[in-house]
Amino acid sequence: MPLFANADPNFVTGMLSKLKFEVFQPNDYIIREGTVGKKMYFIQHGVASVITKFNKELKLTDGSYFG
């Protein structure tokens, strides 16, 4: 993953050991605007929609991350 291409291998290994797999169904909310987030999400497979405050829809797909 390009995000961690130059990261120390020990850091990456430590982070990978903390990852938890989650599955979301269509129309599930992952996080709402204004909520304090404590997680980072990596989209392994699928599509997540981001609805902006101006009601514009952006799509995040495989390999995208946020949080």
Q: What is the CATH number of the domain that holds 35?
A: 2.60.120.10
DSSP H or E stretch at residue 11: helix 9-16
Note whether residue 11 is domain-resident: no
Does 29 map to a domain?
Answer: yes
Tokens found for residue 16: 């990978």
Q: Are strands 57-60 and 48-51 parallel, antiparallel or unpaired?
A: antiparallel
The string of pLDDT tens digits covering residues 14-48 is 988 888 999 999 999 999 888 898 899 999 999 99
3-state DSSP assignment of residue 51: strand
Please give the pLDDT value at position 20.
92
Query: Cα angle at 36 between 40 and 47, to 5 degrees?
Result: 40
The pTM for the full model equals: 0.76
* Domain count of the fold of the chain: 1
State how far the alpha carbon of 37 is from the alpha carbons of 9, 19, 34, 61, 64, in Å. 26, 16, 9, 20, 17
